[in-house]
Amino acid sequence: MRLGVLLFNLGGPERLEDVRPFLFNLFSDPEIIRIKSYLLRRTLAWFIATARQGKSRDLYRQIGGGSPLRNITEAQAGALSSALESRNLKAQVYVGMRCWNPSIEESVRRILEDGITRLVLLPLFPQYSLTTTGSCLKHFESLDRKFGISSRVKVSVIRDWYDEPLYVQSMAALIRETVNSLPPEHRGGVHLLYSAHSIPVSYVEEGDPYLEQTKRSVELINSALQNAFPSTLAFQSKVGPVKWLGPDTKQVLQELGRKGCRAVAAVPVSFVSDHIETLQEMDILYRDLAAKSGIEEFRRVQAPNVDPGFINALAHIVEKAATG
């Protein structure tokens, strides 16, 4: 058996000049802009990308001019390969980005060239949504039809892992680390603000399990923390005029301040890698808003990135899929 693991992520612009083409790729996705007409969808994506590129570039300037997502994901791939080898499971780990480079198609070509005979598809999204995991898997299915992958490779698909115990434990450990970094007088009164990427409410109404899985992740993490802290689940990164999942993270922060909360630990519950939503939205925008709302201590829990506990969780997930 020649084992391969394909990590799915959305990707992000690595330079300011990448912002517009990245946005075009993102909004061309039929799971993001649900218009059946290929031409109309791409035309609308062009207009959205053109209109949003200036504001988006300003945000990326605030975090150094580009997203670190590719570098982090490739580091995760290397760490996962090492963790699997320590379990006596040799594997080649590939990275496939839905909206940027390296593309899923590029990685699939490499997988076939390398003679992989067993492939595990592992989306780097703990909770399943049509907008993330669903989009990646649907694109992979189109490539399967194009290249005949499944006729040459045994493929195992991991759709979600929001309740994986090792993942839950790794998140709880990262939260404890953040709480322990607070001044002693604030540790007992800290409020955990879990912030997840929002999706349109219509997706949930049509059966997308993202909301329920995210709620369950929060419940499990809180249980691992022995429910020691009050918490709220909120949602960020809304785009466009449709109704999105709430409550909004900004509004929750302001409400916590009004209620006299003086310490908040923000937990990126649906993000496993640092990128624009953690580095700019949470670290800059929400930190500033917290201070204006009277919250004296605002700490953002580290994204899992290459945390050993998190990588061990991924290795366990892959091992179960590859040997089951």
If you average pLDDT over residues 304-321, what whole number do you get?
Answer: 98
- The answer to the question of residue 12 being in a domain is no
What does the block give as tokens for 78?
Answer: 């290397």
Half-sphere exposure (Cβ direction) of 282: Cα atoms closer than 13 Å: 28
CATH number for the domain spanning 238: value is 3.40.50.1400
Question: pLDDT at position 28, please?
Answer: 92
254: in domain: yes
Mean pLDDT across 47-56: 95
Whether residue 240 has pLDDT greater than 90: no
What DSSP letter does each residue of 58-93 carry, written as one string? HHHHTTTSS--HHHHHHHHHHHHHHHHHHTT--EEE
Instruction: Identify whether 200 is part of a domain.
Output: yes
Looking at residue 296, its pLDDT comes to: 97
Position 291 scores a pLDDT of 98
**Phi, psi values for residue 207, rounded to 5°:** 110, 0
In a domain, 174, yes or no: yes
Q: For residue 33, is pLDDT > 90?
A: no
- 22 by Cβ neighbours in 10 Å (0-12 / 13-18 / 19+) ranks as buried
Q: Phi-psi category of 137—alpha, beta or left, where left has phi over 0 and alpha has psi -120 to 50?
A: alpha
Residue carrying the six token digits 């003679």:
115
Confidence of residue 241 (pLDDT cuts 50, 70, 90): confident
Residue 183 CB-density burial (10 A; 0-12 exposed, 13-18 middle, 19+ buried): exposed
At 20 the pLDDT is: 97
The whole-number average pLDDT for the span 204-229 is 98
Q: 172 by DSSP, 3-state: which?
A: helix
Question: Per residue in 166-176, pLDDT tens?
Answer: 999 999 999 99
Does residue 36 register a pLDDT over 90? no
Average pLDDT, the chain: 96
Whether residue 38 lies inside any domain: the answer is: no
- Return the percentage of the chain with pLDDT > 90, whole number: 94
The SS3 of residue 9 is strand
pLDDT level of residue 5 (50, 70, 90 thresholds):
very high
Element (H, E) at 194: strand 191-197
- Render pLDDT for 271-301 as a digit per residue (tens, 0 to 9): 999 999 999 999 999 999 999 999 999 999 9
| Domain of residue 189, residue span | 165-300
pLDDT(62) > 80:
yes
| Mean pLDDT (whole number) for 247-263 | 97
Residue 324 has pLDDT above 90, yes or no: no
Backbone angles phi, psi at 209, to 5 degrees: -85, 5
Strand ranges in 46-174 using DSSP code E only, listed in sequence order: 91-97, 118-123, 154-157
Residue 314 lies in a domain: no
Residue that has been written with the tokens 């640092």 in this structure: 274
CA distance 161 to 19: 30
How many distinct structural domains can be found in the chain? 1
